[in-house]
Every structure is written in structure tokens, then in C-alpha cells.
Structure 1
Amino acid sequence: MHNHLSRTLERLDRVRRDRILPRIHTRSAGVEVEAWTVADDGEPVSARHALGLAGDPGRTAPGYRPFPLGAAWGQAWATTWFRIRGTAGQQDGPLDLVLDLGWFDHSVGGHCEGLVFTPDGTIVKGLHPRQSAIRLRGDGAVPGLLDADGAFLLYVEAAANPLLLGLPPFVVTDHGEKGAEEPFEQFRLRRAEIAAFSPEIHALACDLDVAGGLAAELSADEPRHWRLLRAIEEALDVYDEADAEAGARRARAILAPVLAAPAHASAHRITAVGHAHMDTAWLWPLRETVRKLARTVSNALALLDADPELVYTMSAAQHFSWLEEHYPELFDRVRQHVEQGRFVPVGGMWVEADGVIPTGESMVRQLTYGKRYFISRFGREPREMWLPDSFGYSGALPQLARRAGSRWFLTQKISWNDTTVFPHHTFWWEGIDGTRIFTHFPPAETYAAEVTARELRHAVTTFKDKAIASHSLLPYGYGDGGGGPTREMAERLHRFADLEGAPRVTSRSPAEFFQEAEAELRDAGSLEPVYRGELYLELHRGTLTSQTAMKQGNRRCESLLRAAEYLSAAASALRDSPYPHADLDEIWRTVLLHQFHDILPGTSIAWVHREARDTYRALEERLHDLIKQATAALRADLAVTEPGAAAVEVTDGEDGGTVLDDGLLRVVVDGGGHVVSLLDQRSGREVVPPGRRLNELQLFRDEPVRWDAWDVDRHVLRHPQVLDEVTSRKVIHDGPDAGVEVVRRTGASTITLTMWLRAGTGRFETACTVDWQERERLLKVAIPARVSARTARFETQYGYVERPLLSNTASEEAMFEAAMHRYVQVADGDYGLAIVNDTMYGADARADGDSTVVRLSLLRSARFPDPHADQGTHVFRWAVLPGADVPAAVEAAYAFNAPDIALLPPLVRLELLSGHALIDWVKQADDGSGDLIVRVYETQGGRASARMHCHEELGAEAVLWETDLLERELTGEEDLPLAVGPTRRSVSDVRLDLGPFQVATLRIAAQASPKEDIK
């Protein structure tokens, strides 16, 4: 018998592909097709314009012409509208309109797509390679598609998005930019016809899919494997395509008993949630995501309407907001399903942001803007952070999530690690401050499952926490480019609900899963797994450097927003100037949008980054205007900084070198333009190790194995090419400061280093201007320090990550490139050194004998998805601070990144009693009350105490209390440490006690209400 059944699965594949699937749809009649390609600039028009219901200003009126089957349509990124007429016959049974716009058999959401409309503008559904039929008659048909005679008229908005993701994974092409001159092979309309749909044959295809998939995953030692094969063999014997309907019924009757066998009592339990991970931009521009949302959501809603058991999830408030703005009728349908608990907003963030690059306040705003949107539109607050695809996760996130009212965290990206295997799937993640959040990694290791037997088996086999947990989550539905779940996925879900040899699969909301899984983990007692610190992704390290203009634009906007909100709050509090809530909200939402995990990290097509650069420039101009308005109102309060008395003395050194000396630091720049000595005269400590050179530029061949813009592979860093060529060198002066300018060349690129000793600051600063014309090259600057350390402190949101400088273990070695924010600090004994920067996020640091070498990553030039990435001129700044501990590094980093504005006496300040803490952000409350919001955090990973003092003009009657990140008063029952306690207090008597890296949000009101108990 075994030999007889050995080729059953091969037979099944052939029969299903050639004799069953083609019989699901049987041609009934042809249709008449007309087409109109959008002219002008090629950008999309509204549906009302294309349907002739209302004209878009300045756009050419539609002109439909007959369009033959097999003809090509649309250049890259063009839109063609098809007008399709037909008449359905009077035969019984479901009837579909079947279209093929030129699908490839992969990359759902990665090439051409369509959206179907009725003549009055009602959205019917989206089209993609796995969703190509529109139900005209029968269950699931939109009422009114057919008139009394069976005639119909439909419109299809077809988007000719070029296929940029292929096999091997990438196609290096200029089609990632609008109007690329590179020839584009147009898509072709291969099929357009009315076809009868057979529910029985479709059901047989699904039965065989599940039975065959399960049999393939079960061991040949298991009886269940052979019984499934026997049933499949017998079912194939009785199926005859000559009488497919009857054959399907006979075959299903044979399969029914094996598909009715229940799962084992101890079977793993999987919660399946419909999902369509939607990249806000990636291989398409932002405007295309708006249309992708309409296609995907319309399909999801149709599936929910057809199947009452299904639940669908969608993250990113920005995506809901786009639906609300551009597709209000679709948004209304979403709202109805949200009320029913079937369409579930998840994540509570504005977008699925990058998890490491945004500053702490940006991560706060991702949560506050996202949650407030969901609360205002749906009356629901998501309780989970939902970041399946970001490229690493800061150790600050557990605290921020919990302080925003969230209980759970989800990702699956850590399964992509290239070196070590993460030890858990269900665990408590403990942040750098000690806050814990319940965390789950779906063990199927995908956010775009198809509910196949292979995925379910993988989830069970891979799940690391079987001894204490029996639940996992499965997000299913085509993702990245959208598409979402399909009818076939739903059919598999139902068949796997309770099936021998498989886990039990249930459709329910993520919150129901998290509640049950968290309770189960708590029952484990002392066995509860805890993972401490950042979730470092051992992959995609190049995203910290790719498309450096994204990082620079984000950093500048964050710094300008900090200044604009503080000055505007001061102008309002002290001079009764209107606070620009609307302007700041709009700017914040745009900054948050561009922190999406394929925009800010630099992994989108050229079109996305070109638009983002323009957007950042416009935002910076608006922020400068807001700062000018606030400073004008505060003119009388502003202070002028007097120049210091120190000055840099410049003398000639040996061999054409230059010596810079301000009495604090003594710097020697040799004739080749390298720093060979940096003496800290306060301690007598020489910083540059013997034989080493500070500010050494190193060039590397940057040829990733797989993911160009994403990865810096370890082999890249093995063979640095030191850039020694000097085109010019000169000494420069600027008031009391002095420096050396050195120009170097490599290939077609020019690099200008201007190294400054800033008099009296204890800071040696470098400005670097690069005219970058390289491709597949990585540029770093090496800063060796004679500091013997085992770890280095890399700044992250509201604290730092202490990273190993040694490579004793595989996980230590895997951190060969890691994220930093504004500083890296190293120390031995009581002597430290910090390097601060104004724009970089990637660095490596390793111990080298009795020294430490830090290398900042400046530029890359990956070929995919933007073949011209980073070409052009870039400016970087960094500074070395000998003798700096962490508090000095933090304060220097703030100053180094702050915009050049006049000083304002502080609205609030801290009087430190012990440890170190600082005020990170000051702004007005989001509710328009005029209350002041102050964000404070401890900086060293220790404990700090301070008294808060407020500007006298805030008033003696002002009161203060502590809130969560959404500025809701904390009561002390939230299981979060409080800095000032759960009672309201007069601002004249406020003491803060902060734990390690603790963040506190304080709210100050001008005066207490009569009912308030002030202590």
C-alpha cells in the first residue's frame, strides 16, 4: 500500500492544477471592453472624473475607446480605466466577471492592480493575481450590478505599477522613479469574460489543498499520513473532469471523514486574524498606498460580509485617515464593522514606524497621535504595539508602550536574525528602565500567512515556549503591497478549525488572543521567560545609513519641533501669544508619516525619497517661521550669549603639521590632514592611541549578499581602504575658534573635512562635506580613543544601550554595526570620552588592545531599490569630547543638535539633588486647555532626584500632576513608577524621584480648580 501511495501527492498537484482549478470557472459569455489611459501628468484622477460624474479641475476629460483582448495597456506608473459591458445569461448558479490584467504568478500587491467601481462610483472590490473575479450573481454579489435583462456596466481603475521585486529578489531598474526613460514592458489584458462559478468544484479544490498539505507535513511514521493519502487517492479516482460537478461531489464524500477527524486534546491553539501588512511606501509612492488601501479594504469588507466568523485587523492611523479623506463611503463601511468587532484597529501608532531611529518624543507622538485618532473615530483604544516588520526595536519601547496605555507588543521580524536564534516566542520583554510588556512573536514567522498546512506545522514546530504556553497568533493575508486575505485562506481556516494532525485554528481578535496568552504565561510562575534590553535585529544594519537625507531631514525636524513647541509654549504662557496647534499638528503628522519603516530607513524607491526630501525642506521652512513668530513675541525675554574669553592658539607643528591649543585641549593635525594627537590638558590624558589617527576616512566595498539598501554584511568591513590623498590643506580662523580644512578625493567624489577646536568648550568638532558620486561603497570615519573599555554606551530613546566592544559570543559579534542617536560614550575607570553627532545613526565600536575604535557610518550607495541612492552633496558634523561622562555627553548632544536661536530663560528647570535627569520636551497640552506639558527623564541608568522650579510668570497658583503619554492623569493604579506621586501639587513644592531611564510626563495648570486637593 505504501508503494502504491508514494506518488499520490505528485498526482494530486497535477490533477488539481490541470483538471480541477480550471473547472472552477467555465466561460459563459464575452464582454465589451473600452479603455482610457489617464493623460496630463499621468497621476490618478478621481473615480467621479473617470466615470463622468464630475470633472477634476485641470484634468483631461475621459475618452474611452474599444480595447481588444491581448493588447498592452499603461506605461510604468500610468493609470488606465477600463469600461466593461456585458449581459449575464439566465442559467442558475453563481456568475462572475473574470479579469486578468496581466498578472504575474507571484508578488501580490507588487505589480499591476485594479479597483472595480459601479457607474455611480460605488467600490465593488480590488483586483490582484489572487482576486481576479467579480461576483455578478449569487452569494457575495453587490446588489444591483445586473439590471432586469442581466446587463451590467463596470469600471476598473487599473494601475500599471511596475514589477520591481522578482526572483532573485530584486530587479535593479530606474522604474522606481516616475518618468524613467528605461523601456517598460506593458501589462496586457489577457482575459475578460463572464464565467459560471462552481461552488462544488471550488470546495473540492480547497478540501484537496488542506488534505494534501497536511499529509505532506506529517511524518511517514504517522498513520494519519497514510490515511490522508488513501483518501486523496480514492477521491482522485472518482473525480472525472468530463462530469466535473458530479465527480467533485463523489470526491468530497470520500474526503469528508478524514477532514472531520478532530484535533488531539493537546493540540496547539492558533488565533488567526485576517491582515494585510501595508507598507506606507516602499516599491511605490505614497499616493499609490492610498489606492492600495481602497483595493485591500474593499476586499476585506467583502470577505467579512460573506463570512460572519472572520476577523480582520489593520494598523496605522494614517491609513484609516487616508480612507476617511479619499474614500469616505468605504470608511463608513469600515466604521460599521469596527462597531461589530469584526474590523479591528491595532497598533495604536500613526504608522508602523522604524523602531530605533526616531527620537523618544517621536515615538511618544507615534503613540499619542495614533491612539487619539482611533479613540476619536471609533471610541476604541488599541492596547497592543503592532510592529511586525520594523528593523529592530529600542529598549525604550516597553516603557513608552505601557505609559501610553498599551499592554502587549507584537513583532515577528527578529526571526530574520542572520546569526543567532531568538530564544522565545511568548515572553516578558523588559526595557532598559525595567518596565515589562507581554510580547509575542508569531511562530509561523510571517505577517502574511496563507493558512497553509506548512505554515501551521512550522508554527507548532518552531514555537519555543511549548512547556508553558499553548497559544500563538497567525496574521494571514497578502501583505507588504496589500491584498489581504482571500476566500481560499478563509476556507483553509475553517477546515483547520479542529482537524487531526494540525493545531486548532480559531478566528478571533488579537486582544482575545493576548488576554488568554498573557494569563497562560502568568500561570507559569517562576518559569515565566523574560528578555531584557533592546531587540537587536541581526540583519538590515544598512538601514541606519542608507539615504542619509532621510535621517538628516528627520533629525532636523525633530530638533526644530522641540524648539518651536517650547518657544510657542513660552510665548503663550508669558505673552499670551496664540499657540499654533493646527500648524504643529500638521507638521507632526507629516514627520510621523515619514518615520515609516521603509521611508526613514532609506529602503524605498527613488520616487519616495525624492518627495520626502522636498517635504522635509518645506517642513523646516514652516518650523523656522513658527520659531520666528514665537521669538518675536518673546523678544524682551531673550538673552544674548556673550562670547567666551578663551581663544585658540595656532602654531606650526612638525612635518608641515598644525597645532591648535586653547588651554583645555591641544590638537595636532599632521601634514596629511589626520589628527595624530588630542591631549586633554585638564587631566593630562592623550586621547589618540600611539600610531593611530583620528578622523581617518575609510572606504569599503559595499556589496550585500541579498538586500542592497537594507544590509551591511560583515564581509564588507574586513578590508578598509584608507583615504589619504590630500587635494588641499589650509588653516582657518573664525573668531576665537581655529581649525584645519583638508580636501580629499576618492574616485569621482570629493570630501572636505573642516576640523575645529571650539575655544573654551572642551570640544573638538568636525564638519564634513561630501560630494558623493560612488556606488556600492560605504564611507566611515574612524575615531580611535585611548580608553580601555569593555562596553560602549550608544544613545537610544530616553537612555542608552550598553553594547559589547568584544566579540566573545556570536551575539556580540553580530552587533558589528549598530544604532546610535546623538552620542556614543566610552569610559575606563573614571575617565570617559564621548562622540556626538548631528545626523548619523549607524556606527561600529570595538576594543583594540588598550584602546577603543568607534567608526561612524556616513554614506552608502546601494543599487536597489534606488540605483542612484545618496548621489550628491551631504554635510555631516561630529565632535569629540575628551573627559565626558554620560551626563556631559547627553547635554552636549542636545546643544550640538539644537537650532541656532536666541536663549530664553527657562519656563521650567530642574535643580538636581542627586544623579542626573533633564527636561527633554516642553509644549502645550494637546487638548487645547493651555496647560503646560513637561517631559523629564533620567539619563544614566541610575536614580535621580530633583526639584522643579517654574518661571515666576506661570503664577504662584499653578498646580502640577503626573500623566501618561496621552496626558491623562495617573492614579497610581497603573503599575507604573511615578516621579511625583498620584496627587496634584503646587508647583512651588515639587520633588521628582526618578528610577533608571524613567520617563515622567508632568502637566502644569495655571491654577487649581476649587475641588482639587492640592498638597
Structure 2
Amino acid sequence: MKKPEGKQEAATLNNMEHYASDAAASDSALKPVVHMIGNAHLDPVWLWRWQEGFAEIKATFRSALDRMVEFPEFVFTCAGASCYKWIEENEPRMFAEIVKRVAEGRWVLVGGWWVQPDCNIPAGESFARHSLYGQRYFLERFGRSAKVGYNVDSFGHHAMLPQILKLSGMDSYVYMRPEEHEQHIPANLYWWESMDGSRVMTYRIPCGYNTHQFETSEPKIMKVREIAVQQQTDQMCFYGVGNHGGGPTIANLHEIRAVKERPGGEAILLSSPDAYFERMQAHGPILPVVTGELQHHASGCYSTHSETKASNRKTEHRLMTAEKLSALAYRLLGHDYDSAQFQKAWECVMFNQFHDIMGGCSIKEAYDDAREAYGYAQHVASISSNAALQRISWSINTMRPGITFLDKNKDRTLWEQNDSGIPVVVFNPLSWDVEAPVVVTQQMKGITDEEGNPVVIQHVRASRTNGGDKYDTLFRGVIPAFGYRVYWIFRNQTFTITDPGASVGTDPNSGNAASQTSCEQTPKDALLVSSQGAEAFLENAWVRLEIDPHTGYVKSLFDKRAGIEIVDSRLAVPLVMDEHDCDTWGHGKLEFRNEIGRFTDATVKVVESGPLRATLRVTSRYGNSTLRQDFMLYKDSPDIQVKAKLDWQEKHKLLKLSFPTRIHEPKATYEIPYGYLERPVNGEEEPGQQWVDVSGWAVSSGEASTNSPMETAATDCSYGLTLLNDSKYSFDVKNADLRMTIVRGAIFADHYGKRDDLCEYMDQGVQEFAYALVLHAGTWQEASIVRKAYEWNVPPVHIVETYHEGSLPQKWSGIHLSTEQVAATVFKRAEEGNGYILRCYEAHGLETDVTIELPMLGRSWQSRFGRCEIKTFYIPDASDLPVVETNFIELPWT
């Protein structure tokens, strides 16, 4: 896509001391003016529930329409497609008035998104959906889209937003937080540039985004006018009662009239953000260029209300998976693809991403509503995924020789006949082949792939306790990209595995997975586990993990491949921080490091031991709280996986897991929406998504294992530790100590209020989460961290099938990308219903060429991706039409 450029050479952020004088010299004839922006900041949820917000939006819009009759010069600005949809559906006569005012240019649409979202927590694809559904709504109802991005109250803004805004048809951006005392910016108006080179003209609002009732406007106008003279650039002055709606008052408008009638009043304009940026773009002043993110405001909001944040991650991925499955079923079998249903589900997700909901700073009752909305969206994803998967699986040819009809005469749950096995169809939603664990809720004696090759299995404890039926069967499947594979499960038939050290089953009645049938093992292939006495460890050919049985902390994590000990003192230490002096938002807090205690008094025991996986369960305590961590190690992987269950009973306390490492000259890299960002290792709380990496160099002991798959004994090497997670968004790194914030015990919606014993505290009780530790030589890019993070968050889905004829093969792949640098995150039907949408992004920060193949569509094409570039491809149903790049709105640029 074409990148925006400034009219004149832009000044750099590091050379701004003469900015004001240079700007004045560039065009002394232009006199800066103050653009009065009449608006009503509308929080549909905050200290009230959405039902109250709904009513307030109707009243505010009625008030704005009335002001337009009384004051012909009045211009009103409002964002949030969801607000307009509420009015359209509930008060159509008022909506018709708004349509008329928009056409006149007196009611200005801004934002282009469904709500004003939190801009740190949602995934990159959520921002694409805000644009897709928000901008298309504006175009369909008003005949125009928003040109100005508008997030005046969000608590921070990630570094990929300029590109996302450009791909959404917006060339400029308005925000207020962080303010000057939180992040210095050389001027209120500047170019903001993302890593791919996209730029948007950006304005930080001075003096607040609203006026309060009974507050006079003149002092604020004069202050903003002083700023305009000082910076020699037009400024915007926002007025109107906000948060709980209200908008410009009669008194506001009379006062502005009075100011305009005084000397110099010609420099005061009733205006809009659109008009402001049009004037600035036409004038083309020399502006500073700011790169990176806009932070930090309300650092506590990265971790507040864990349930909502976990639901957000889960629902985003479930919906994307459901769309992929449905699109594949549509293509392969003509299965119904319900775009409207998916949009309703995404609307629930997007609404819950409103900054006061997603930031965890709303009232308790608001989260009951959020839970319902996520439940609806997850239900839509589940029923859509299941319908598509079952349509595909039923069309696979799974008939076995000698079977002519279905008959369940040997097993109450399976249709297996003649010991022929039963098919399990496993689908991989990711755009690369994946090897991943699959757990079948049956107790099997053998499993093969579609060609009859046996695979290693292990019986693992199920969640049920139904007589002797309390074990499931674990195996590792290798599943094609955007595709599926059939595995065959056998109730009674066992198989001999020729791989040394592997066994085909375990005795479920032994408790600790003794081998049922095995071959001779060698030390190279052994998967070892112990919790005897003072020794508690997990070990395979790649790594050895040792746990202190008294504290439960990791005292050693040794990379046998490189001969490197990564642990400095202890790892995975649960630290309790005091935050009595902190409000719900964490206002004014850049770090949370006031340690007052640690979980300890641990018990350690082996809960799994088998040919595929071993698990140590570590249970530790602090006060009235309990943390259970299951440390898992697979035989053929160096990654440490941890499933945790926390019973949190602490108030005004914050829990972190600490991972101090022996990495020298560390650099910390965080995943952000559709990208990544390197940040200082200064201990400040930072937002992140599925992974955080600390890399530098580490000293090798020269004792690399002679049996390890990769032998090296270098003195030192480039090395790192990556932390993957499934539901957390808040981290800090100080020196080489990486910490993940797990939970806060904050009061609901507490802004340093009068606390008493009736206060309600959030996140009390049980929650579950998971994380993984990935040791890697070289860079995080070389270690395939982006792929590992997606695999951790998007597991394969499967269904147990039966025998039937079908047109589809037992193994199938839907996509091939020629480079690992590019990930395809979205495959769905186009909104116009005449093709498909494939969205990809460059994940490693390097330009690359990629060949994209979609065999199911008979399509193959090449594309060049810039650094961290996001591309959306429209693939027409008509095969004679070419694949073209489009935008998030899936419409030609206007």
C-alpha cells in the first residue's frame, strides 16, 4: 500500500529544539487558529452498565440535534459505530435526523471503529475488525467513512496503530493519553510512524477532551490559544460535557459566541477534527516524527480483571478459527457461511474492548454483562466450528474393508467394528504444519496415522471419575497447515513402535504411567521425572529442570544442547507486591515492585510419567492463597510447559511470577498487535500479548550433552528465554529478570475513594492460566517464537468420527507459505460474498518475498512484504479474476 508522506521534509524527534521558530519561518503568513470541537465523550460502560449508557447516548444525541437548531454555526463530532447502531435500531426518527445532519457536514463522523477501544490488549485482528465493521457501517448508513482516528480517552496506544489506521482509511489520529507529564512529545501535532513506515498526522488534545457542567469555557480557550501561538500551529480545543454523555451546553455555545466577538475572535473557529487535519495537511507545516508507542497511562489496567482479559484472548482466537473452518467447509462442500452471525459475535468482542471494560476499571456489575457477551460470541464460534468440522469430517472417506453398515454392538461410546479402529479428524487452524498434543476422551490401546503407522500414546488422567473410566489418551499429531489429518484410535489393538525409548501405552491403574508395551530405552531418549526426597526434576535429551522441593521454585534449568544454565538464583518465583497506595487504574504507577512476600511452603509430586510427557505438580502458599503449577516436559521438546491454577484471596496485593536469568546485555522484546516492540529493561510495567523475550548472550559451561540432538560447547553465545502465555498482558523486565503479572486484588472502580469493609475486590477466588518457557540459542526469530506463541494459544480441534464413504482424503492441507516470516491469521469469506479474504503479516521485522499457495482455490501468487507489513488479499470466486490487495474495509480506496 502507498505510504503517506509529509508535504515537506519532516524534522526528527531528536532535533526539535528549534521546531517552533522553524515552523514560523516556513509560513509566517499563516496565523494559527483554535478549532473548537463540540463533542460528548460517551462511555457506554464505566461507573454504569451498558443499559444506562444506551439511554444516555439517546439523550446526548437528542441534545446535540437540538443545539443545531438553536445555533446554526454549531458542529458536532462523535465516534463509535455501536452508538449509532443503537439509535438506528431504537429511535429511527432521531437516526434520520442524524443522517441529514451528517450530509450537511454539521455532524461529523470520526473514529471509524465500533467503540473507542483499549489500544494495548486487543489482538491485531480485533483492530482490523473494528475498522471492517465500523467503517462499513458508516459507509452503508451515511455514505461516507471516518477519515480521522479518534481515541480520546484510551490509556495508551501501541506502535503498530499508524499502519492499522492507514489500512482502515484514516490518515490522522486524535488522542489525549498519555499526557505531557506521562510522555514528552515535542508538539501537540506531529507525524506518528509505525515500523513499516506508515505515517498518520497525530494530535494530542491539550487541556482535556471535555468541559464539566457549570464550567466556563473561556479560560480553556485562552490556554489553547496560547499553545497555538507558542507552537505556531493550529490547535483543537474540545468542549462539551462528557463521560456520562451530555455534549455541548447552551452556555458553552453562548460563551464561544462572546469570545469570537472580541478582538482576535477571528482566530476561534467552530470546527471538527476533519476540518482541522484538512487545513494542516494543506498547509504542510514542518512536524516532528515520533516512532514507537504512546505510553504510559494507567499501567494497572494491563492486568486488572483477569477474567475479562482471558475471555478476550480466547474469544478472538475461537472466532478466527470458526471463520477458517467455515470458509473451508464452504469451499470444499458448499457448507453455509453465515457472515452476519460472525459479525454479531465480533460486535460483542469489540464492545467489550471498550477501554473502561477491557482496562478493568468499570463497576462490578458491568463484568456480569461482559461475561454474557463473551459467552454469546464463544457460543457462536463453537456452533459454527462444530458444524463446519462435522461437515468436513463426515465427507472424508473413512470406510474400512469388511464393514458395510454401522453397528454399535461392542462399545457404548465407539462405533468400532472388527478391531478396525475409529477415525479421529484433527484440524489445524494455523498457516503452517503443527505438531501438537491431542487428547482423546477415551482409553485407547493403540493409535495410528492415516497410513497405518503407529504413534506413541500415553494414558492421562481425565477430568471425570466414572468408575474405572477416568483416563484419556494422549498422542502427538502432525497436522497440515489450514488442514486436517485422520488418526485411527483402537480400543483393544496394540502396536509395536520401532522408535527406541517409546512405548505405545501406559497402565492407567498404576497412577504414574508405567509402560504397558515398550522397547529398549537408551539414556539419549529417556524422559525422566522424580520427586523423591530433596530431588525433584524433569529431564529429556534437551533440558533438565530441577525444583527446590521446599519452596517450589525452579533452581536449575539447564540447556543440555548448549551447555547453558539459564537460572540466576531461582526461577518461576511467585512474588507478592503491596499496592495499597494504588487505585484501580494504577494511576501514576510505572512499576509494581514493592515486594512483601512470596509463595512458599511447597509440596511437589509426580502426577504424570510416561513415554510422551512427564509432569511435576508444585503447590505453594501465601496467606490464604494457593498456587498450583504443573510443570510439563514432553519427550521430544525442550520447552517447559506450565498449567497453573490460582486460588487468590489477597486484597490490595499483586502477584507476579519472576524469571531471573543469566543473560548478559539483555534486550526485551514484546509482542504487540500484529507486530513486536523492543523496550528498555528498566522494570517498568509494560503491555504485551502472547510472548515476551529476553535475549543477549550467555556463558556456556562447556558441558553440552554428548547425547543431545545439537552438540555445542561454545564459551559464550547469543541466547535467550521466551515466555509464552495464554491469557496475560502485563509484564516487566529489569536487567535480566523477566516478570509476568498474574493477578491484582484491586477494588472495583476505585479512584482513591473512601475505602471501607464493604468494598468489592476483583479477581478473588480460582482462576487458571498457562505459560511456557522456551530456551533458544540465537534470536527469537530463529527460534520460531511467533509460531510457538500461536501454537500455544490456538490448539488443534478434533472430532471422533465413524465409518462412511466420502469424497475427501484422510489428509489435506489448505495453504502453503514459502517463508516462516509471514503468518496468515485470517481466512474467511469476503463481506461482499463474492470471494475470500486472506490476511497475512510479516512477523520478523525483515523485508521478504513470499509465495502464497491456496491449492483448494487453485491459486498461487507472489508478494513482497515490507518490515512488519500487514497485507489483506481479496481472492475472487471467479478464477479468471486476479488476486488483489485490499484494505481492512474490503473496499476500494476512496
Equivalent positions of 1:233-312 (< 5 A) are 268-312=32-76
Q: Select 2:574's aligned residue among 697, 701, 704.
A: 697
Equivalent positions of 1:186-201 (< 5 A) are none
Deviations 1:488-533 (A, max 9, x none): 100111122253377821112321111112233x243xxx210001
- The separation in 2 between residues aligned to 1:712 and 1:613, in whole angstroms, is 29
Contact 1:704 1:713 in 2 (8 A): no
Equivalent positions of 1:440-451 (< 5 A) are 440-448=203-211
DSSP-derived class of the 1:725 partner? strand
Match of 1:237 in 2: none
Contact 1:429 1:439 in 2 (8 A): yes
Contact 1:709 1:862 in 2 (8 A): no
Deviations 1:828-886 (A, max 9, x none): 25323211000000000111xxxx11110010111142722112211111000000643
Letter in 2 for 1:924: R
- The separation in 2 between residues aligned to 1:902 and 1:458, in whole angstroms, is 62
Match of 2:420 in 1: none
DSSP-derived class of the 1:395 partner? coil
In 2 relative to 1, CA 428–633 (structure 1 residues): closer, same or farther, beyond 3 Å?
same
Match of 1:190 in 2: none
Match of 2:680 in 1: 804
Q: Select 2:322's aligned residue among 553, 558, 564.
A: 564
Question: What is the deviation of 1:710?
Answer: 4.1
Match of 1:901 in 2: 797
Question: What is the deviation of 1:651?
Answer: 4.5
Match of 1:388 in 2: 152
Q: Select 1:816's aligned residue among 684, 707, 716.
A: 684
Q: Select 1:471's aligned residue among 223, 226, 234.
A: 234
Equivalent positions of 1:593-742 (< 5 A) are 593-635=351-393, 636=395, 638-639=425-426, 642=455, 643=475, 649-652=527-530, 656-672=534-550, 673-689=552-568, 692-705=569-582, 707-711=583-587, 713-714=589-590, 716-726=592-602, 728-733=603-608, 735=610, 736-742=612-618
- The separation in 2 between residues aligned to 1:322 and 1:1012, in whole angstroms, is 36
* Residue 113 of structure 2 corresponds to residue 349 of structure 1: yes
Contact 1:315 1:386 in 2 (8 A): yes
- The separation in 2 between residues aligned to 1:329 and 1:629, in whole angstroms, is 40
Match of 1:457 in 2: 222
Contact 1:460 1:503 in 2 (8 A): no
Contact 1:448 1:477 in 2 (8 A): yes
* Residue 848 of structure 2 corresponds to residue 944 of structure 1: yes
* Larger fraction in strand: 2
DSSP-derived class of the 2:770 partner? strand
TM, length-normalised to structure 1: 0.65
* Residue 301 of structure 2 corresponds to residue 543 of structure 1: yes
In 2 relative to 1, CA 272–1010 (structure 1 residues): closer, same or farther, beyond 3 Å?
closer
DSSP-derived class of the 1:858 partner? strand
The sequence identity of aligned pairs, in percent, is 28
Letter in 1 for 2:186: P
Deviations 1:50-104 (A, max 9, x none): xxxxxxxxxxxxxxxxxxxxxxxxxxxxxxxxxxxxxxxxxxxxxxxxxxxxxxx
- The separation in 2 between residues aligned to 1:357 and 1:1011, in whole angstroms, is 36
Match of 1:842 in 2: 730
Contact 1:564 1:626 in 2 (8 A): yes
- The separation in 1 between residues aligned to 2:260 and 2:659, in whole angstroms, is 59
- The separation in 1 between residues aligned to 2:609 and 2:86, in whole angstroms, is 50
How many correspondences in the alignment? 691
Question: What is the deviation of 1:761?
Answer: 2.4
Letter in 2 for 1:670: D
Question: What is the deviation of 1:476?
Answer: 1.1
Deviations 1:878-930 (A, max 9, x none): 00000064341100110000144149844222012xx722112211111122x
In 2 relative to 1, CA 503–392 (structure 1 residues): closer, same or farther, beyond 3 Å?
farther
Match of 1:579 in 2: 337
Moved more, 504-513 or 730-739: 730-739
Deviations 1:159-209 (A, max 9, x none): xxxxxxxxxxxxxxxxxxxxxxxxxxxxxxxxxxxxxxxxxxxxxxxxxxx
Match of 2:821 in 1: 916
DSSP-derived class of the 1:698 partner? strand
Contact 2:724 2:772 in 1 (8 A): yes
In 2 relative to 1, CA 590–483 (structure 1 residues): closer, same or farther, beyond 3 Å?
same
- The separation in 2 between residues aligned to 1:658 and 1:790, in whole angstroms, is 29
Letter in 1 for 2:790: Y
Q: Give the greater-gyration-radius structure (CA).
A: 1
Letter in 1 for 2:256: L
Match of 1:128 in 2: none
Match of 2:193 in 1: 430
Contact 1:277 1:448 in 2 (8 A): no
* Residue 742 of structure 2 corresponds to residue 855 of structure 1: no
DSSP-derived class of the 2:209 partner? coil
- The separation in 1 between residues aligned to 2:357 and 2:884, in whole angstroms, is 48
In 2 relative to 1, CA 306–928 (structure 1 residues): closer, same or farther, beyond 3 Å?
same
Equivalent positions of 1:777-796 (< 5 A) are 777-796=653-672
Deviations 1:583-611 (A, max 9, x none): 11110111111100011111100110122
Match of 1:872 in 2: 765
- The separation in 2 between residues aligned to 1:879 and 1:405, in whole angstroms, is 38
In 2 relative to 1, CA 906–308 (structure 1 residues): closer, same or farther, beyond 3 Å?
farther
In 2 relative to 1, CA 1011–935 (structure 1 residues): closer, same or farther, beyond 3 Å?
closer
Q: Select 2:721's aligned residue among 811, 833, 847.
A: 833
Letter in 1 for 2:248: P
Moved more, 711-720 or 680-689: 711-720
Question: What is the deviation of 1:466?
Answer: 4.1
Contact 1:669 1:740 in 2 (8 A): no
DSSP-derived class of the 1:619 partner? helix
Contact 2:48 2:366 in 1 (8 A): yes
Question: What is the deviation of 1:649?
Answer: 2.7
Question: What is the deviation of 1:655?
Answer: 5.6
TM, length-normalised to structure 2: 0.74
- The separation in 2 between residues aligned to 1:373 and 1:305, in whole angstroms, is 26
Question: What is the deviation of 1:462?
Answer: 4.4
- The separation in 1 between residues aligned to 2:728 and 2:591, in whole angstroms, is 22
- The separation in 2 between residues aligned to 1:604 and 1:759, in whole angstroms, is 45
Higher relative contact order (CA 8 A, sep 6+): 2
Question: What is the deviation of 1:1012?
Answer: 10
Letter in 2 for 1:954: L
Deviations 1:436-491 (A, max 9, x none): 1111112334344766222123223445x945x42111221011111111011001
* Residue 389 of structure 2 corresponds to residue 518 of structure 1: no
Match of 1:413 in 2: 177
* Residue 289 of structure 2 corresponds to residue 530 of structure 1: yes
Q: Which runs of 5+ in 2 are unaligned?
A: 1-27, 397-424, 428-437, 439-454, 456-474, 477-498, 503-524, 698-717, 751-759, 800-810, 886-894
Question: What is the deviation of 1:715?
Answer: 7.0
In 2 relative to 1, CA 370–387 (structure 1 residues): closer, same or farther, beyond 3 Å?
same
In 2 relative to 1, CA 889–711 (structure 1 residues): closer, same or farther, beyond 3 Å?
farther
Letter in 1 for 2:571: L
Q: Select 2:780's aligned residue among 876, 886, 892.
A: 886
Question: What is the deviation of 1:826?
Answer: 2.0
